[in-house]
A and B are shown apart, each in its own frame.
Chain A
Amino acid sequence: MNLSYWIEMIMSGVVTGTCYAMIGAGLSLIWGTLKMVNLAHGEYYMLGSYFLWTLLTVGNMPLIPAIIISIVGVVIFAAAVHFAAIRPLLRKPGWNMSPWILTLGLQILLQNLALKIWGELYRNVPYFWNTVFKPWNMFTMSGQRIIILTSTAVIIIALMTVIKKTRLGRAIIATSQDGEYAMMMGINIKQIYFITYTISAGLAAVAGILLCPVYSVNPWMGATVQTKGLVVCILGGLGNIEGAIIAGILMGIVESIAVSAIGSEWRDAIAYIFLLGVLYMKPSGLFGKKKGV
């Protein structure tokens, strides 16, 4: 175990971390504006992978169109879910409880639907770019991981630019800080709810598409990502998108280092140990703000 080994571990942690960041940022966006936890978020990740697998192996489609259609497909599906299931419940009595039940139900439904459609066989998607690099002869990095890193970096920067610099971004932040008065500024907050929900689903789908060649595709793949996403979202401070992104990357690194230090069977436990440790010291998360009751 020399230096290059650790660099490799950290790089691989960063790669998974950026995907956690995208899931966490999506959950944080939804939490911030709609004030709900989306327990079916991991399922959009799973659907992204399955759509891609289906288009590539069953549909024999070239890679780039297959990726685009998969993302669009998940976004349209999420839009349908938003209109059919979430909007009718919005702001109705019981809104503090109803999204939990709704999205938990959705999670179970989508997992079993995937099982029914695609079966329980673990599917594999080939690497998008099957080469291996050895930068400065220090460590190895596969082409797939480079694709993941660059595309997540571009997407995260684009997302943050939209949120920080544009009219839509201001509307999203205003809605999450004070929905009632956001309306008085002329913001149609129902439209903002819709936009943030579908953007978040799109982010999850992209993460699923990018990671599926590294892991395998199966009906339950969304569940672990879902809980990791929630952990990241809490770590970053609920509703704090930047926080979720940094926490996601951090979590990827911690996980990767811990797995190589103490063994891969601890992979999922580490997330929670890390979360408990952070919350013990900073109850509002790494970047959360203290709030009076």
Chain B
Amino acid sequence: MLKVDSVNAFYGDVQTLFDVSMEIRENEIVTILGSNGAGKTTLIKTICNLLPIRSGSIYYKEERIDKVPPYKRVDLGMSLVPEGRRLFPDMSVMDNLLLGAYSLRDKKQIQENLEWVISLFPWLGERSKQSAGTLSGGEQQMCAIARGLMIRPQLVIFDEPSLGLAPVIVDQIFETLSKITRENNSTILLIEQNAQTALEISDRGYVLENGHVVLEGSSDMLLGSPEIQKSYLGL
């Protein structure tokens, strides 16, 4: 569904991605692991074309998208739940959700999708008028996920959804992620530092280090790998 083919990317003169290749197949949950500065967020930015790539290519459903402007991603059924939540803080929860459906014109469909995301997070309905900046960290994350789901995306990219959240909420969020794949047949690309939880719900994983893919394989294989156990699981 999404194919990244030997991508090189730079911030100014500093190279941050070196010949990165990966593939996410339909209905899969794929995790990208990596420590801070490994290039995870850079990779997301290149996939979204927020950071143009220097060389290589990116395909979505066989179509080359690395030159397609960022705002056209949602029309393709691709959605991003950004790192650090990044809701629009001065807007209400409802306005944030409606912005998630900005690319949809059909009012009925927007309403249906709205009901669906509220069924995933019922409290969103009760507090739709609250300004998003005043939500707690976990609530902001859930609101951001809901916003990202408003187009009923085929591919959702989650950038560190567990960052800075309490373990209970992390479990709840990961449970929702696997529910989304089941209920909506979505494909998920998950960026995480929380290796254990992420790999448990994923099918496959890639490990990024200093901008290189150093390891890839099925989740079981990665969970069993001594390198992963040492660097990410603290075993």
A184 close to B73 (CB less than 8 A): yes
Q: Is A181 in the interface zone, CB < 8 Å from B?
A: yes
Q: Complex: how many Å from CA A171 to CA B88?
A: 11
A173 close to B90 (CB less than 8 A): yes
Residue of B nearest to A175 (CB): B88
Q: Complex: how many Å from CA A188 to CA B147?
A: 18
B91 close to A181 (CB less than 8 A): no
B102 close to A173 (CB less than 8 A): no
Q: Complex: how many Å from CA A146 to CA B128?
A: 40
Q: Complex: how many Å from CA A182 to CA B75?
A: 14
B50 close to A180 (CB less than 8 A): yes
The binding surface of chain A is classed by DSSP as helix
Please indicate the chain A residues that have their CB under 8 angstroms from the CB of B75 in the complex.
Answer: 186
User: Contact flags (1/0) for B164-178 with A, using CB distance below 8 Å?
Assistant: 000000000000000
B91 close to A177 (CB less than 8 A): yes
Interface magnitude class on chain A: 10 to 19
User: Contact flags (1/0) for A82-124 with B, using CB distance below 8 Å?
Assistant: 0000000000000000000000000000000000000000000
A185 close to B86 (CB less than 8 A): no
Given known pairs A170-B95, A170-B98, A171-B102, the reply for A186 and B73 (CB within 8 Å) is yes
A186 close to B74 (CB less than 8 A): yes
Q: Is A183 in the interface zone, CB < 8 Å from B?
A: yes
Residue of A nearest to B89 (CB): A177
CB proximity of B88 to chain A, nearest CB, Å:
5
B91 close to A186 (CB less than 8 A): no
- Contacting residue for A181 out of B69, B86, B95, B98, CB 8 A: B86
Q: Is A134 in the interface zone, CB < 8 Å from B?
A: no
CB proximity of B110 to chain A, nearest CB, Å:
10
Please indicate the chain A residues that have their CB under 8 angstroms from the CB of B89 in the complex.
Answer: 177
Please indicate the chain B residues that have their CB under 8 angstroms from the CB of A171 in the complex.
Answer: 99, 102
Q: Complex: how many Å from CA A173 to CA B87?
A: 12
Q: Complex: how many Å from CA A270 to CA B71?
A: 46
CB proximity of A55 to chain B, nearest CB, Å:
39
Q: Which of A183-200 contact B (CB under 8 A)?
A: 183-189
A174 close to B71 (CB less than 8 A): no
B99 close to A184 (CB less than 8 A): no
Please indicate the chain B residues that have their CB under 8 angstroms from the CB of A167 in the complex.
Answer: 98, 102
Q: Complex: how many Å from CA A180 to CA B95?
A: 17
Residue of A nearest to B85 (CB): A181
Q: Is B70 in the interface zone, CB < 8 Å from A?
A: yes
B102 close to A185 (CB less than 8 A): yes
A174 close to B88 (CB less than 8 A): yes
Please indicate the chain A residues that have their CB under 8 angstroms from the CB of B70 in the complex.
Answer: 183-184
Please indicate the chain A residues that have their CB under 8 angstroms from the CB of B100 in the complex.
Answer: 185
A173 close to B86 (CB less than 8 A): no
CB proximity of B62 to chain A, nearest CB, Å:
22
Q: Is A178 in the interface zone, CB < 8 Å from B?
A: yes
Q: Complex: how many Å from CA A188 to CA B74?
A: 11
Please indicate the chain A residues that have their CB under 8 angstroms from the CB of B86 in the complex.
Answer: 178, 181
- Contacting residue for B99 out of A180, A185, A188, A189, CB 8 A: A185
A177 close to B90 (CB less than 8 A): yes
A174 close to B73 (CB less than 8 A): no
- Contacting residue for A183 out of B71, B90, B95, B147, CB 8 A: B71
CB proximity of A280 to chain B, nearest CB, Å:
26
User: Contact flags (1/0) for B74-87 with A, using CB distance below 8 Å?
Assistant: 11000110100010
B48 close to A187 (CB less than 8 A): no
Residue of B nearest to A191 (CB): B71
Given known pairs A180-B50, A183-B50, A184-B48, the reply for A170 and B102 (CB within 8 Å) is yes
Please indicate the chain B residues that have their CB under 8 angstroms from the CB of A181 in the complex.
Answer: 80, 82, 86, 88
Q: Complex: how many Å from CA A173 to CA B88?
A: 8
Please indicate the chain B residues that have their CB under 8 angstroms from the CB of A185 in the complex.
Answer: 71, 74, 99-100, 102-103, 147
B91 close to A188 (CB less than 8 A): no
User: Contact flags (1/0) for A132-158 with B, using CB distance below 8 Å?
Assistant: 000000000000000000000000000
Q: Which of B86-116 contact A (CB under 8 A)?
A: 86, 88-91, 95, 98-100, 102-103
Please indicate the chain B residues that have their CB under 8 angstroms from the CB of A174 in the complex.
Answer: 88, 91, 99
Q: Complex: how many Å from CA A183 to CA B95?
A: 16
The 15 listed contacts between A and B (C-beta, < 8 Å) are: A170-B102, A177-B89, A181-B80, A181-B82, A182-B99, A184-B48, A184-B70, A184-B79, A185-B103, A185-B147, A186-B72, A186-B73, A186-B102, A186-B103, A188-B71
Interfacial residues, chain B to chain A (CB-CB below 8 A)? 48, 50, 69-75, 79-80, 82, 86, 88-91, 95, 98-100, 102-103, 147, 151
Q: What are the 3 A-B residue pairs with the smallest beta carbon separation, nearest first?
A: A186-B103, A186-B74, A183-B70
